[in-house]
Structure 1
Amino acid sequence: MVTDRKKFQGVLNILSFNRHFYGFGLLILAILITILSLAQLPSNLIWLVIALFSYGLLIPLVVSAYVYDFSGYYNFNWLKEEIGNSFKSQKIVNINAGFDETSFILKNKFPESNLQVFDFYNVEQHTEPAIVRARKVSLVYPKTTTIKTKKIPLEENSIDLLFLLSAAHEIRSNQEKVLFLKECRRVCKPTGKVIMVEHLRDVPNFLAFSVGFTHFFSKKTWQKIFKNAGFTKIEEKKFTPFMSVFTCS
């Protein structure tokens, strides 16, 4: 069972999956420096451009290293606050969007539980190069089932814990997110919980990822979507300034 992560695996993943972004950014920077130099513009302007591009390229890596390599995110000790020390779940579902780094770890965390893994990756809709590359190296948990967001093939009121770990934002349509979360609510027991972890479209993530923060959704948007999906209790807690844990029941 694969549960150990390599040093700096999180930031290396970001670099590997988004190498097109970094390659394009460095190319644009080189072109701008050449143009500014040939135009004999003040050196302060050139250094300002270099500083801005360096910030945009390096800060996402620094934040990713902090969140995914040094914060303890993957040891799941933060779950104690969400489910309690005495919680022994029997039926767990982990749903990903084509890249699964957590199922083996969750199984190790809950060795006596029945863990089912689903993947809602849609090859026609999820065409971002980062996702395509991530899928090529992603470990596939045994018996992972590919599903559509409108239907989770499980009985009603049958699941104790359902995890959506940095996956739900890949559903770009808010209407589709509502339908998907209605399914998540349907399969959970009355005492069950949906635990979703997401970056948000907020100030900290703007400072970390600049325009890349638009790939995420705001806290207000998620709260509205959960309410429209029928959840009556929605709690949000910060796991680092850059990630939020939503616990819904």
Structure 2
Amino acid sequence: MIAYNWPQYVAGAATAAGCAALSGRLPAPLRTLARTGAAAALGLLLSATAASWLVYDRSELYGYDWLEAVLPQVPAAHLVVATGLDEASDVLAARWPGSRQLTVDLYDPAVMTEGSVRRARRRVPPPPHALPGRPGALPVAAAAVDAAFLVFAAHELRRAHQRQQLFKECARVLRPGGRLIVVEHLRDSANTAVFGPGAWHFFPRAEWLRLAGRAGLSLAAERRIAGLVTAFAFTRGGA
């Protein structure tokens, strides 16, 4: 988390230090405001770091034991779609050695300009078998897989029409009764409380339901992980 987002940590620390340093030179009302700002910046740094540690290092998230609650049957074939950082294909391949895996990488440096994505990609390059793709053109045949995975991937598409294209493509490649698994932080009260303004990088629950509905997918299951991450299972054809 820190390695991918270190500029935000530097900015937060600098804000806290600057407000604290200036507070002693300001008149009383402004002094209180500066000290409050320093405390708020430091508090957000600590809460975001603690929440990230709990979710990514201490919870069941990357153990994928929660998966049975949203995908009860092992798929004969599954698709992993990444947008710069693939956090699922290795784990799923080890979990389901008999399931044929397809991996598609949608990373486009001209569109995905956030520094955290570039840093993550440098540290964890895509797997050698990953195929390049676009949100509206996945290199996968129709009805080819029983499950498709978007693990912290879809929110990196900041343009609404690209997210919609991706959901429609995922629906296209699913077999009847197949499931699209979407794992995301939500823009909700819990994430706002620990990430502050950073939670606006996430999308509300209603956005994921809207995208699925417009792609002809229905909500089959939903699981909250560590209180801050939500796993959705959307199914094709209401099966």
- For the structure 1 residues 172 and 46, does the alpha-carbon distance in structure 2 shift closer, same or farther, using more than 3 Å as the test? closer
Counterpart check, 1:158 vs 2:144: yes
Counterpart check, 1:76 vs 2:54: no
Q: How does 1:26-37 map to 2 (within 5 A)?
A: 26-37=13-24
**Aligned twin of 1:227:** 213
**Aligned twin of 2:198:** 212
TM-score of the aligned structures, taking structure 2 as reference length:
0.92
Is the 1:98–1:131 Cα contact (8 Å) retained in structure 2?
A: yes
Which amino acid counterpart does residue 2 of structure 2 have in structure 1?
L
Listed as ranges, the gaps of 5+ residues in structure 2 are: none
**Aligned twin of 1:184:** 170
Counterpart check, 1:60 vs 2:48: yes
* Matched residues, number: 234
**Aligned twin of 1:131:** 117
**Aligned twin of 1:174:** 160
Q: Alignment partner of 2:135: what SS?
A: coil
Quote the offset at 1:47 in angstroms. 4.6
Distance 1:71 1:39 in 2: 44
Q: CA RMSD in A?
A: 1.6
Give the percent of matched residue pairs that are identical in Structure 1 and Structure 2: 28
Distance 1:22 1:65 in 2: 15
Query: Which of 215, 227, 234 is residue 241 of structure 1 equivalent to?
Result: 227
Structure with bigger RCO (C-alpha 8 Å, 6+ apart): 2
Quote the offset at 1:68 in angstroms. 0.7
Is the 2:79–2:103 Cα contact (8 Å) retained in structure 1?
A: yes
Q: Alignment partner of 2:231: what SS?
A: strand
Q: How does 1:111-150 map to 2 (within 5 A)?
A: 111-150=97-136
**Aligned twin of 1:4:** none
Deviation string, structure 1 residues 55-109 (Cα, Å, up to 9, x no partner): 111111111111111111111111111122xx23221111111012321111000
Is the 2:219–2:232 Cα contact (8 Å) retained in structure 1?
A: no
